[in-house]
Structure 1
């Protein structure tokens, strides 16, 4: 199976359950050739630490939308016992698919679950991206969900530190007019971050 439908259903249910209805941004579902990304606003409660997320432990001390949770429970779409993420992981493991990738930011302003296509359906289908283009796509994908410093981008693409290659691709993206400084008058500011430009909206990320 290309993707695990049980996992997708559970992620969408969690997005409906745990999003904030005071924020007007809708739940986002992006279907790309090699992945599905489901995003909602805001991110996980701060009682869930970054370490918890890395270990796929999403047990919150506070719950949003209890009444919606009760309604979803009546529809047999949720159990309301914190079993959503374990159920997702179990379904993905059963399907031999890659583990999901969880994205958020320091302010917990958004939460994105990234489901990768089963490797068996990628091989031989499309030419492999050159490493530098793949890294550029990753940077653009990350900045779609907020403004980030270079060190934060490095962490999210899986680098232990800001590498020379990351610096190079950030410069290339800036030269192409796809990303820009959040503090353009102070390029070396310790608070400097990067964001997408309007031009990047015409680029398939």
Structure 2
């Protein structure tokens, strides 16, 4: 991910507290520090070059021009322009994103040229007022979050409905989509024919965002989903005893689409648990009874994949012991559910509703909140 660079512009001495406070805040905030680097001219070491040329070059290299305008206009050059106005002009000419914050409830005490600059900025963009560091921080935070959403670096939509960064239609497997349609038509009378074009299928399933694949599309039908989501995998381990112990007798990591990972993980468990073969007294084919029913194993694995937090660096884990099966996934319960409520009838609250929809259409899940009760 390419980090965005913020250039903070103001009269340095007058707004020293705001400049330093804002820089420290952006460096410390858990969200913003992931995306932004901050440039303050006072942080630049001494160098044998023109100061004006230096800060104007930094403006050209930044992504966001953040201007703090107060009372003073600042030292003027031979043309009668201050550094603050020169920087604003450079950002405007370069087409940079400009965020302007004006200190004070009114402009009566401001330098005439600062008044003119504030008026000019107000004619070109939306300004915000502040009266100190305490009110500046939330105003800047709101603007930067809006910027991240517009740039699609973050989203308030569910993870699976957000656009898959750098993904194109060619990254999806057409045969996987055709197989999905076949299975969904058989399982749920899915209305689209097998000959449906990929774009139409994805649009029908709400898996397109401005003609680009959503995260769910890549996880369900991607040629190489792990190229985009490295931790979308299921780690399976079989232990002969009741505790985790090395060496691990059998260990596999499964990758691929959601459907491929689920099928492989279920097969791993079923191949390791005890099975009893019955007689052919009532049928030509001898019945096989497993120590843990296949439906129970499938329910646990599918739930773990459907409801996991895909933004986490952790993976789904399936661990089979001599006395139990443990299936874990990254992510907590939705706020509306508790461990106690899971033991009773409850509504389905999918973390990834688009992934859950496709799993429902192929009859991997029932989407009725019955999974934990069945297990």
Fold shared, TM-score > 0.5 on shorter chain: no
- Bigger Rg over Cα: 2
Q: Report the TM-score when normalising by structure 2.
A: 0.17
Q: Report the TM-score when normalising by structure 1.
A: 0.26
Q: Which has the higher contact order (CA 8 A, sep 6+)?
A: 1
